[in-house]
Amino acid sequence: MPSILPLFAEGKIKESSVDFLLEYKSILKSLPDIIFPLDEYINSLNKDQQLIWLTIIPVLASHRGEEELTTVLMRKSINWMISRIDRHIYMEEQKKGA
């Protein structure tokens, strides 16, 4: 029987959004290059990487029809996500300094 991936936690969040995003970014950066068949790739990932992979799918889907699923597209998508994370962290740091 497959294990259930926990997508939501019970109770109050115990870490800041910045800490969460730094961890998320770290896991994004840890993802190995994509290999095919895709199921072998996903099975080669640890649980944290598998959960993060699920969050990349919508970004990859936004390029549907423009490019094929390749390492280049995956890295392009991850880099875009990291740029959004860095922007959010920068904005949060600016709020604290204001």
Report pLDDT digits (tens) over 45-76: 999 999 999 999 899 888 777 778 888 888 99
Domain span at residue 37 reads 17-97
Residue 5 lies in a domain: no
At a CB cut-off of 8 Å and minimum separation 6, what does 48 contact? 27
Interval 70-95: pLDDT, tens:
888 889 999 999 999 999 999 998 98
| Total domains in the fold of the chain | 1
Residue 8 lies in a domain: no
Residue 11 region by backbone torsions, left for phi larger than 0, else alpha for psi between -120 and 50, else beta: left
Q: What confidence category does residue 8 fall into, taking pLDDT thresholds of 50, 70 and 90?
A: low
How far, rounded to the nearest angstrom, does the alpha carbon of residue 30 sit from its chain's CA centroid? 10
Residue 22 lies in a domain: yes
CA-based torsion, 19, 22, 25, 29: positive or negative? negative
Residue 1 lies in a domain: no
Residue 13 above 80 pLDDT?
no
Residue 10 lies in a domain: no
Residue 9 lies in a domain: no
